[in-house]
Structure 1
Amino acid sequence: MRARLLFWSAFWAFLIDQISKYLVVHVMDVAHRGSIEVLPPFLTFRYGENRGINFGLFQGESDAARWILIGLSLVICAVVVVWLSRGRPSRWMLIGGGLLIGGALGNVIDRLIYGYVLDFLNMSCCGINNPFVFNVADIFIFGGAAALILLDGKKPS
């Protein structure tokens, strides 16, 4: 049961991420349209090519940087699987781990296919113009990591 919950959470996170990227980047053609206002000023689709990690940190134009980030993502996925296979993680931890893994693999596939991660979500508010873009995988990675940290069920000593 535990392995299935982890697998299906990762599978759906991966699939939702890849479908969202395909629809916005290829079908809606945001790369050529520049931007698409969805819920202005809060949500705009804006094309981005991320060769680094979240928010463009550690941008690397080299092929070595791309492969290092792919390897790092795969190692993190493996560590999460091993960690969750030990002990008795809660249902929510398994779902969180699956979201993190599915999101990370979604970005790995982008790096393998395109050489970078496709980003398209931009959120701004209250007169603050956010220059950064991200994708659905990033949401899953952040939410999954938060679930693993906050829902581990261990009492502080």
Structure 2
Amino acid sequence: MANVSMTVNGRSVSGQCEDRMLLVQFIRENLGLTGTHVGCDTSQCGACVVHVDGKAVKSCTMLAAQADGSDVTTIEGLASGGELHPVQAAFREHHGLQCGFCTPGMIMSAVDMISRHGGQLDEKTVRAELEGNICRCTGYHNIVKAVLDAASKMGDGAKVAAE
């Protein structure tokens, strides 16, 4: 058994888990935060993307014990003060979700992408960087529109906010 302590969505949490427990399992099973989805268990689909210390990570590829001492943000931690994060709002506005299964991972990947590129994104870059996220409903066109819109609204201020 491993003792783990981390900050998840701004809240300190700690607990015990099996040494081999994945971060996605810890988040869902131990913390009850079910917005992070388990899609493939092989890091192929991107449904499990969370931010660990400010960087997008497929949480099915990381042990919970590896996140000990880290700052973790899940989809539940993006909204602030009852307001959707700009990327969440853009996905809603541009119908960037269909069944919704891939949406949390897509949004977390998009937030990371925008924090790295700021408002300097184009369609080709967005499509290339979202390659690791699979939408089974094939809603990529609206997802790309949503990411580009959010990036343009957030601008280069996104880089500053992420640092």
- Normalised to the residue count of structure 1, the TM-score between the two structures is 0.27
Structure of greater Rg:
1
Greater RCO structure (CA 8 Å; 6+ sep)? 1
Higher-helix-fraction structure: 1
